[in-house]
Structure 1
Amino acid sequence: MSYLNTLRFHFAGDFFSNPSTVNNDPAHYENALFDRSTLWKRQDATGMNGWWNPEGAHAFRFQNVKTTAAFHTDGTPVQPASDAVLSLNVESRIRNSAKMVDLDPDQQLVSMIFGLRISLTNDDGDELLAGIMDPAPFTEIWQRGNTGAGDERASAAYQSTVNVTSWGDLSSSLFLQQLKAASSDVLSIKFNVDGYVMSFDSPRFATGRVVGSIGTASAAEPKHFIAGRHFETAARPNDIIFPGFRPVNGINYCVGIHDITRNKFRLDLGNALPVTPSKGPINTAILGQLFLGCKMADGTVKEIDEIPYAGGNWYETSAGIVEVPANRTLTANENSLINSSVVCILSQTAEGKKIITEEANGSAYVRADMFVARMNPGDATEIKFFATQFGKPLPKARISFAFSIPRHIVVADFPSGGLNFPSSIQTDAAGLATLRLQAIDPGNARIYYTETFPREHIDGQVYRINYGLIGRRTPNISDFLSVLVWNTFTPDNPITWHGSMKDVMTQFGDMYPIMANDQNISLDLADYEQISQQRLKILHVVKLTVEDPMYMPVTRDLSRTRQEALIKWLENVGADGKPLLGTPPVVPHYIATNIPLTHFSPASDPGSKTIFGEKMQKNSVNKINLESND
């Protein structure tokens, strides 16, 4: 049961996201060198400065999103004249927008959405359904479009669950009655984002297209991916891995499920097909006709049927989900072939017919459900893995794990001891396995420069952990773990502004200009007096859960020991009613000179993900050998 089952509805419209981009550059984290007069400005002829949107608020919300199609339990489409579900608005907030933030300046390719409220409303404002989406990172980013600059060409996907908070009057919708009966507490959601406009002069600045689906959910299934049939792809030679990644045959990673109950094979191509122009319709000229097939052990292919796609507003109304065969059911022989063969997709163009994507590893696949973690020293986090073959659980499969160390970090200075985990784990009879991560204080050891500028003051260490089935390839380049382990922070005693809090708060103030410049907020986190005046408000938002859209700091990069110190400092006021000021230090912590203004080189392309992709391409990472048996 998931958004890819029959009982589901689709939606399409715009999304708005305005992240602050000052914190995209690791060099900006050194307080002593931060120059607000330049780094709070947008990119100009002199360089990146504050990148393309320094005064962003990290908001994320849907705009003008409407339901576009729905399907009953038996797979029949809902008819607009008989069901109100096809005339509803899909909204994402009442008062406060959700927040979208990167994990770390050294990992900007798993941007995560927190506090997204999803609701279905009619034009009178009546709410028929409401819920909160579990925080989720994007995955499988690629270059989908062929026009525009920066991230406008890119596309990525979010998948999660929505915890239902209320159902309204459903008398006007049989479909929503069925959805509530089948999955009243939790729903499955998947949406794709593309066509994001980064030009400040455009009326669509910070806006892109969102297309997605919502359906039933099951506790036995992963929240953030489909445990089905996964199709791999490959990059063109010399391509940027993310997000300039362009598949050789024009089709990105995608997934399908074999619905044996209805004798159908259902594909999700929502984030897999190219478009032209960016944010436009599917580019059929690249792919031609598509067919579903089964690849035998000897390499021969048995075609199943054509994959109907494209045309008009096909993408917006289908969310890229398509059933094969379209006008009949699978035969007993076809069901048998799908159950025991590698499934593939073929393309028919003027140049002939060929396989453009197929399952790897004899249809064996493993994936982590949640693949991003934020951890404090002493924390233990458990990550679930699901292994399948031919879409069924794969028992007693061994999964291997190893660090992947970026080449721009000196290996001797990479504190791998900050995160412990086993070298391998084994799945149970249900194809499930759990990896336990144990965090230890990594120390502040991110070294990018030497001599006069020994390190940047970024809290903690970000780790990439590669994984895969032992003896098999990892077919999807997005399938790895990203883990941020913070340092242990030891404040002065008693905690004072000059002794501990100034360095911490100044950095947040520098990285988030809108706090000081927005007249509705007017709080400079580098200013002791302003903090003192708004002490109670700051205490309130710092104590919220990280999932709350009002949580502070909005970037979600405050460690627990720093959070505890900040709360204690704000609560322990002196005789003047203000937090303790302390004594200014006699000398700076250190003095650095002749240091590059920016860690990343300025580029003509303003896309933050694109620039980070360039960095990843230039600084390739070590890959683990999954052929061993240890």
Structure 2
Amino acid sequence: MSYLNSLRLVFSGDFQADVATANNDVRHFDNDNFQARFQLPGENNVNGAYNPDGGSSFLLQHTYVQQVSYPDGRVLTNTADDIVIGTAVTSPADRLSGKLVDLDPQMQLSTEPWGVKLRLLAPDGELLLEGDVEPSGFRDLQVRQFQPPPNGLPLGASWITVLTNLHWTDKAKQSPFLKELKAKTDDDKLSLNLTSFAYYTGHTDGRFTIGKIIGTLGPWIEGEPEQFVPGRRLFGISNVGADTNPAIPFNYSNFIVEEEHKRLLLDLGGSFPVADTQGNIDPIYLKLGVAKAAFNQPVSTAPLLITPAEYLEIGVISNTHQPGWLLKTGGVVSFQLSQPVFQLLKDHQLLLIGKTPEGQERVIARESVGGYLLRADAHVFRLDPGDEERSKIYAYRWGKPLPQAKISLVLQPPVPIDIFSDPTLQGPIPLTGTPPEALLFPAELTTNNKGFARITIGGNDPGSPRGYVDGQVYYLNYSLAEVPVQDKYPFDQFHVHLRDEFDIPQNPAWQDIAYTLKQYGNLFPLMSRFIVDLGSEEAVKKRRDILLFAFTRKIKDPNYMPVTRDLSAAKRKTIVKWLKRLDDDSIQDIAAAESEAAKVKKEPVVAAAGDLDLDDYQKNMARSKSGGKLSFNIVLPFAAE
């Protein structure tokens, strides 16, 4: 089921991600060699990159419900048909905005939203529905803009997660769609997909730190994963760039086959190349077909030609060039399947077919070899020594759970990853993934009769292997022998931040917490400019109230400190213990501190780059994600519609 369902709601608009960038370069964590310029904006990742004064806020703006769809094939787009159409999708106005947070400076490619709440508000301002967005690392980072983008960032990414703690108001009963959605979903959850693109890392068009967002909301069904579609996948194989600088349109797309309706649902919302920052699409000829024989070709710059005799046609994807098509539909296309197509698709590959400029048909994307899909549910973890986190890894073949599948787990070897390095800085870059024995995990798992395997990941004290950066970050790969490397998203891994062991002093002194607070003050100049100089003991004492409030929030609270959520429980408790030992007369009302925290405002500040010492694809994704100077200037070699 998931959001990719015949019963779904689509909303779209803008989002703002005021991400902090002074902490992008891992070497900025070194207090002893920190330079004042690291808090200044700079291009190409120099200094503090494009937004050193960022507060990491994440919120929706001018976002509205566009349409709802039903299992009987109806698509409604008019408020007269359902009051939910046209409603605003927003965050509560009476609380601090949610946060967008990287796991670690050496793993910034599974960024998560924290403390985000979504509300559906009727035109009269009345609440229809609200829920909490569960943190989920983004996936399927891929190129969306193939011409040099005025916004600076050519990539898009998607978060699949669930809304929890749902509150359905009486007014929601006036919406036939919401009534049916509530009846169909399980366990007080809804499945949510958020797709972002056209994010501005510069001040062009007055949209600094703003991008476009598409949301799709559908039922969540008990037993299904929460953070990916339990179905099938298309993988782009047409590299329109170069071997060392790949640019692959339609790179990752989810699809399902609804057997009860003999219907195919394909989500191109996160992969369709866009022509501008508003999500409009150039005319392009596209059709779907089912391969009669296996297509196993990997990504290539040479077109893979195909003839009509090699596939059964499903249908042409039409009207995508109409203004606003992507934002209105969410990029989801639906096809009723003939009986021959329905039967063949049960165990044969789906193909996305285009045309060359000369009019020859070519394969743009294909399903994985053998129809295999292996994906973990929760995959981003923060661990203290002795802690454990649990998840599930699901295996599918042709969209069906795959029992008795053998899953191998292997740590990525130690490498000095600096995703967004300042080219003007000298000095060693810490190794990730060492010591390998500190991370505890099984070497092999076998899926059960429901097609999934449970995994427990734990850790011991890594022993401060990175020196000035707390703990260690690990990339844990999982794989099926049957799945070729090209038929998986390269960051389908477990990403784990394992913190260092730390003994809480009986009577903490300033020197026990000074290095940690100074580091956060360096990396988040917003704090020192608007709230408190974290490097000054006297300044911290004066702001004890608000700091005690922030350091005692639960991790999903948007006021939680540190915003990066990378501080060990022991170090956090030490800070709280020190703050509590101060003169009680200096404590202001905690409620007042909450009010003050909510009032903090700022004017942000211009553009960045990056490097990840992995394969070429991962390098380029990292450079682009930071708003660097990777751009493509490519005219797609596909025929128009």
Change (3 A) 1:202 1:56: farther
Secondary structure of the residue aligned to 2:342 is: helix
Task: Tell me if the contact between 2:474 and 2:496 (Cα under 8 Å) persists in the aligned partners.
Answer: yes
Is 2:207 aligned against 1:210? no
Q: CA deviation at 1:492?
A: 4.5
Q: CA deviation at 1:316?
A: 0.7
Task: Tell me if the contact between 2:505 and 2:574 (Cα under 8 Å) persists in the aligned partners.
Answer: no
d(CA) in 2 for partners of 1:371 and 1:356? Answer: 29
Write the mapping of 1:490-569 to structure 2, written as runs, cut at 5 A: 490-498=503-511, 500-518=512-530, 522-569=531-578
Deviations 1:82-122 (A, max 9, x none): 21111200112322111001111111111110011111102
Deviations 1:328-374 (A, max 9, x none): x3222222111121222211344311222112230011100112111
Between 216-225 and 162-171, report the one with greater CA deviation.
Answer: 162-171
Is 2:435 aligned against 1:415? yes
Q: Which residue of 2 aligns with 1:292?
A: 289
d(CA) in 2 for partners of 1:251 and 1:201? Answer: 27
d(CA) in 1 for partners of 2:481 and 2:43? Answer: 49
Q: Which residue of 2 aligns with 1:365?
A: 373
Task: Tell me if the contact between 2:478 and 2:493 (Cα under 8 Å) persists in the aligned partners.
Answer: yes
Letter in 2 for 1:187: L
Letter in 2 for 1:307: I
Q: Which residue of 1 aligns with 2:70?
A: 72
d(CA) in 1 for partners of 2:180 and 2:345? Answer: 30
Letter in 2 for 1:506: K
Q: Which residue of 2 aligns with 1:154?
A: 155
Q: Which residue of 2 aligns with 1:189?
A: 192
d(CA) in 1 for partners of 2:386 and 2:457? Answer: 10
- Cα RMSD for the two superposed structures: 2.6
Q: Which residue of 2 aligns with 1:226?
A: 229
Secondary structure of the residue aligned to 2:579 is: helix
Change (3 A) 1:103 1:149: farther
Q: Which runs of 5+ in 1 are unaligned?
A: 447-455, 579-605, 622-630
Between 47-56 and 163-172, report the one with greater CA deviation.
Answer: 163-172
Letter in 1 for 2:160: Q
Letter in 1 for 2:572: Q
Change (3 A) 1:618 1:430: closer
d(CA) in 2 for partners of 1:369 and 1:85? Answer: 30
Task: Tell me if the contact between 1:7 and 1:73 (Cα under 8 Å) persists in the aligned partners.
Answer: yes
Q: Which residue of 2 aligns with 1:581?
A: none
Letter in 2 for 1:155: G
Q: CA deviation at 1:78?
A: 2.1
Deviations 1:129-161 (A, max 9, x none): 111010111111122112326752111111100
d(CA) in 2 for partners of 1:171 and 1:430? Answer: 36
Q: CA deviation at 1:545?
A: 1.3
Between 198-207 and 25-34, report the one with greater CA deviation.
Answer: 198-207
Write the mapping of 1:156-171 to structure 2, written as runs, cut at 5 A: 156-168=157-169, 169-171=171-173
Task: Tell me if the contact between 1:133 and 1:160 (Cα under 8 Å) persists in the aligned partners.
Answer: yes
Q: Which residue of 2 aligns with 1:628?
A: none
Write the mapping of 1:91-102 to structure 2, written as runs, cut at 5 A: 91-94=90-93, 95-102=95-102
Task: Tell me if the contact between 1:108 and 1:612 (Cα under 8 Å) persists in the aligned partners.
Answer: no
Letter in 1 for 2:314: I
Determine what percentage of the aligned residue pairs are the same residue. 29
Task: Tell me if the contact between 2:194 and 2:215 (Cα under 8 Å) persists in the aligned partners.
Answer: yes
Is 2:328 aligned against 1:317? yes
d(CA) in 1 for partners of 2:52 and 2:348? Answer: 51
Deviations 1:347-403 (A, max 9, x none): 134431122211223001110011211111111111211100010000000011111
Secondary structure of the residue aligned to 2:14 is: strand
Q: Which residue of 2 aligns with 1:111?
A: 111
Q: Which residue of 1 aligns with 2:351?
A: 344
Q: Which residue of 1 aligns with 2:593?
A: none
d(CA) in 2 for partners of 1:314 and 1:298? Answer: 30
d(CA) in 2 for partners of 1:360 and 1:550? Answer: 42
Secondary structure of the residue aligned to 2:394 is: strand
Between 385-394 and 144-153, report the one with greater CA deviation.
Answer: 144-153
Change (3 A) 1:576 1:614: same
d(CA) in 2 for partners of 1:405 and 1:60? Answer: 33
Task: Tell me if the contact between 2:150 and 2:204 (Cα under 8 Å) persists in the aligned partners.
Answer: no
Task: Tell me if the contact between 2:202 and 2:607 (Cα under 8 Å) persists in the aligned partners.
Answer: no
d(CA) in 2 for partners of 1:412 and 1:111? Answer: 18
d(CA) in 2 for partners of 1:196 and 1:240? Answer: 26
d(CA) in 2 for partners of 1:123 and 1:437? Answer: 47
d(CA) in 2 for partners of 1:444 and 1:133? Answer: 33
Secondary structure of the residue aligned to 2:548 is: helix
Write the mapping of 1:222-301 to structure 2, written as runs, cut at 5 A: 222-234=225-237, 236=239, 246-247=247-248, 250-285=249-284, 288-297=285-294, 300-301=310-311
Q: CA deviation at 1:11?
A: 0.7
d(CA) in 1 for partners of 2:403 and 2:116? Answer: 35
Q: Which residue of 1 aligns with 2:637?
A: none
d(CA) in 1 for partners of 2:362 and 2:617? Answer: 33
d(CA) in 2 for partners of 1:289 and 1:413? Answer: 43
Is 2:466 aligned against 1:463? no
Q: CA deviation at 1:75?
A: 2.8
d(CA) in 2 for partners of 1:258 and 1:376? Answer: 42
d(CA) in 1 for partners of 2:529 and 2:136? Answer: 30
Alignment equivalent of 1:306, drawn from 316, 319, 322 = 316
Deviations 1:194-213 (A, max 9, x none): 11111136411110000121
d(CA) in 2 for partners of 1:290 and 1:2? Answer: 25
Change (3 A) 1:561 1:56: same
Q: Which residue of 2 aligns with 1:88?
A: 87
d(CA) in 2 for partners of 1:375 and 1:306? Answer: 48
Change (3 A) 1:434 1:334: same
Q: Which residue of 1 aligns with 2:590?
A: none
Q: CA deviation at 1:487?
A: 0.6
Letter in 2 for 1:357: A
Deviations 1:548-569 (A, max 9, x none): 1111111111111111211222
Secondary structure of the residue aligned to 2:458 is: strand
Task: Tell me if the contact between 1:294 and 1:304 (Cα under 8 Å) persists in the aligned partners.
Answer: no
TM-score (norm 1): 0.85
Between 257-266 and 304-313, report the one with greater CA deviation.
Answer: 304-313
d(CA) in 1 for partners of 2:344 and 2:617? Answer: 43
Task: Tell me if the contact between 1:157 and 1:191 (Cα under 8 Å) persists in the aligned partners.
Answer: yes
Write the mapping of 1:19-34 to structure 2, written as runs, cut at 5 A: 19-34=19-34
Task: Tell me if the contact between 1:26 and 1:106 (Cα under 8 Å) persists in the aligned partners.
Answer: yes
Change (3 A) 1:394 1:198: same
Change (3 A) 1:465 1:64: same
Q: CA deviation at 1:261?
A: 1.0
Between 175-184 and 476-485, report the one with greater CA deviation.
Answer: 175-184
Letter in 2 for 1:215: G
Change (3 A) 1:237 1:319: closer
Q: CA deviation at 1:502?
A: 0.5
Change (3 A) 1:122 1:618: closer
Q: CA deviation at 1:275?
A: 1.1
Q: Which residue of 2 aligns with 1:14?
A: 14
Change (3 A) 1:384 1:192: same
Change (3 A) 1:149 1:526: farther
Task: Tell me if the contact between 2:432 and 2:473 (Cα under 8 Å) persists in the aligned partners.
Answer: no
Between 314-323 and 556-565, report the one with greater CA deviation.
Answer: 556-565
d(CA) in 2 for partners of 1:194 and 1:116? Answer: 19
Task: Tell me if the contact between 1:273 and 1:283 (Cα under 8 Å) persists in the aligned partners.
Answer: no
Q: Which residue of 2 aligns with 1:174?
A: 176
Task: Tell me if the contact between 2:477 and 2:493 (Cα under 8 Å) persists in the aligned partners.
Answer: yes
Number of positions where the alignment pairs a residue of Structure 1 with one of Structure 2: 568
Q: Which runs of 5+ in 2 are unaligned?
A: 297-309, 418-429, 588-605, 621-641
Q: CA deviation at 1:576?
A: 8.7
